[in-house]
Amino acid sequence: MGKAHFGLIGLGVMGENLVLNAERNGFSSVVYNRTYAKTEEFLAGRGAGKDIVGAATLEEFVAALERPRRILMMVKAGDPVDATIASISPLLEEGDLLIDGGNSLYTDTERRAAELESKSFGYIGMGVSGGAKGALEGPSMMPGGTKAAYDAIESLVTKMAAQVEDGPCVTYIGPGGAGHFVKTVHNGIEYGIEQILAEAYDLMKRIAGLDGDAMADVLGGWNQTEELASFLVEITEVCLRTKDPETGGDLVELIVDAAGQKGTGLWTVVSALEMGVPVPTIYAALNARVLSSLRSERMAAEAVLYAPDPHSFPLGEPATGMAALRDACILACIASYGQGMALLQEASKLHDYNLDFSAIGQIWKGGCIIRARLLQRIQDAYGADPSLPNLMLDPWFAAQVNQRLAGLRQVVAGAALAGIPVPCLSSTLDYIDSYRTGRLPQNLVQAMRDCFGSHTYERTDRPGAFHTEWLA
Ligand code: NAP
């Protein structure tokens, strides 16, 4: 066999599926895994009969690749990426390309890119979304690095990516850590949508008294609409319909109510706070996961802190798609995407990423976890106005907000009276109400800051910085 077109390091769930994807698309491959037994197992199993060879050492791996080498690392994010780079970089030659396809922190990617580019290697930090199935069949990919490095992998990634009607779900994102930053924000949006659907489930169960199948029917209907048709709504329907084989009841009711996280949601929120971009819907989703993990504390508190009297309120009828609840979920999803896009805009300015927001909408339309029909509208909105300050100001999205705000208000008010937490829905309502308010009460905050700390304030009637001796 001649030299392989493509090399993969890390035969975890993602790596295994990505190399099968590359091979299926005509790229002969060589694989390396720290634990060689996993390589042997893969080659004897899913890799058997494919144009894929295994390497027991990194020396063998590097020697088996055509030049310039194109190497994708799919190892655990953090120290394992640095360890892998440290082991392989002495073996690389000028022009070779390393791609980190894991969920790395974008500032780590900036650092690694600077180090490797100074040695004349190409370095790409590439977000990959789609889970195991997406990795195999076609994920959405967000590669960042130099344009020259992207050009060297373009033929590979455009074939491997999911394909939608207007092209592959991959594009050059921008320099340095741009690709990993966009993937981080993608995951933050994902946190938001997952929590929104969990809140809808809780209300349908506790207020409307629906069982799993009835809720799944509602979700199935939502998945037919332009505003909510999406992968996450589709899998929520499946989760709600699935029965436990032992008891025959809804499986979801047997699952412990404590959600995990691996860091990307946290990084989204931390970056947003650092950059001064409000992302309350995404923040609420992260907080909800953190609070859910205090399970034993919550169970103890249930006996001490009383719930209000049962209180019912209209969510809409299941047969007609729970109209108020659907409106609330639509606006909260729009808010998640909008807050994520606003964060990308700020990061683009701050780091000179020169992001193309319309193109980001396009590559999220297929393959990834947040793929949704709504992304066509997002692509169009930023295509029409690349510097749109907020998605809600696009005419189509503004009409959605104006049409559906009453439903969101009704659901949040009802949930508050019933004592049912809806952190993403209520944060969205606050976000929209704050964003559409020309005069907020922060004039009083400024007065207090000047009163206790002489921080000064600006006046509405003339320019300048003013101080008052409030306590004199
Ligand atoms: P993973 O469980 O995160 O990582 C497994 C791989 O990392 C194995 O090949 C393992 O080698 C290697 N590894 C761990 N520590 C190492 C070290 N110190 N030095 C060298 N190699 C080391 O696998 P994954 O779920 O496929 O994820 C890979 C990356 O993609 C992660 O960054 C993940 O966050 C990201 N990602 C995952 C998904 C998903 O759905 N799973 C989706 C998108 C992105 P050994 O076999 O020797 O332990």
What pLDDT shows up at residue 262?
Answer: 82
Cα distance between residue 42 and residue 31, in whole Å: 10
Using CA positions, which residue lies closest to atom 42 of ligand 1? 131
Using CA positions, which residue lies closest to atom 9 of ligand 1? 10
Cα distance between residue 363 and residue 169, in whole Å: 4
Residue type, 11: L
Using CA positions, which residue lies closest to atom 16 of ligand 1? 80
For 98, the 3-state DSSP assignment is strand
What pLDDT shows up at residue 167?
Answer: 97
DSSP 170: B
Of ligand 1's atoms, which has the minimum distance to the CA of residue 11? 9
Closest CA to 144 of 190, 177, 103: 177
How remote is the CA of residue 72 from the centroid of ligand 1, in Å?
12
Residues 6+ apart with CB under 8 A from 131: 369
On the question of pLDDT at 249 being above 90, the answer is yes
Closest CA to 84 of 122, 17, 34: 34
Bond into 68 cis (ω within 30): yes
Closest CA to 19 of 38, 6, 36, 1: 6
- Contacts of residues 273-279 at CB distance under 8 Å and 24 or more positions apart, as own/partner, are 275/343, 275/346, 275/347, 275/350, 276/346, 277/339, 277/342, 277/343, 277/346, 278/339, 278/342, 278/431, 278/434, 279/188, 279/339, 279/340, 279/342, 279/343
- Does ligand 1 come within 6 angstroms of the Cβ of 241? no
Domains, the chain, with CATH or none: 6-176 (3.40.50.720), 183-435 (1.10.1040.10), 441-472 (1.20.5.320)
Residues 6+ apart with CB under 8 A from 304: none
Catalytically annotated residue among 190, 194, 199, 227:
190
Q: Are 113 and 125 spatial neighbours (Cβ–Cβ below 8 Å)?
A: yes
Residue 458 bears catalytic tag: no
- Does ligand 1 come within 6 angstroms of the Cβ of 140? no
- Does ligand 1 come within 6 angstroms of the Cβ of 13? yes
Catalytically annotated residue among 23, 110, 183, 227:
183
| Mean pLDDT over the full length of the chain | 97
Q: Are 39 and 56 spatial neighbours (Cβ–Cβ below 8 Å)?
A: yes
- Does ligand 1 come within 6 angstroms of the Cβ of 33? yes
Q: Are 130 and 368 spatial neighbours (Cβ–Cβ below 8 Å)?
A: yes
pLDDT tens digit string along 133-177?
A: 999 999 999 999 999 999 999 999 999 999 999 999 999 999 999
pLDDT tens digit string along 268-324?
A: 999 999 999 999 999 999 999 999 999 999 999 999 999 999 889 999 999 999 999
- Does ligand 1 come within 6 angstroms of the Cβ of 77? yes
Closest CA to 235 of 321, 134, 164: 134
Cα distance between residue 240 and residue 210, in whole Å: 11
Per cent of the chain over pLDDT 70 is: 100
How remote is the CA of residue 83 from the centroid of ligand 1, in Å?
13
How remote is the CA of residue 443 from the centroid of ligand 1, in Å?
49
Cα distance between residue 105 and residue 432, in whole Å: 30
Using CA positions, which residue lies closest to atom 13 of ligand 1? 75
Using CA positions, which residue lies closest to atom 25 of ligand 1? 13
Cα distance between residue 397 and residue 389, in whole Å: 13
- Does ligand 1 come within 6 angstroms of the Cβ of 131? yes
How does strand 140-144 pair with strand 122-129?
antiparallel
Q: Flag whether the pTM goes above 0.85.
A: yes
pLDDT tens digit string along 381-431?
A: 999 999 999 999 999 999 999 999 999 999 999 999 999 999 999 999 999
From start to end of 13-60, where are the E strands? 29-32, 52-54
Of ligand 1's atoms, which has the minimum distance to the CA of residue 38? 46
Using CA positions, which residue lies closest to atom 6 of ligand 1? 75
What pLDDT shows up at residue 1?
Answer: 61
On the question of pLDDT at 100 being above 70, the answer is yes
Exposure string of 177-198, with b = 16+ CB inside 10 Å and e = fewer, is bbbbbbbbbbbbbbbbbbbbbb
DSSP 244: P
For the chain, how far is it from start to end, CA to CA, in angstroms? 88
- Helix or strand (DSSP H, E) at 145: none
What pLDDT shows up at residue 310?
Answer: 85
pLDDT tens digit string along 78-89?
A: 999 999 999 999
Q: How far is CA 80 from CA 10, 72, 339, in A?
A: 10, 14, 31
Residue 183 bears catalytic tag: yes
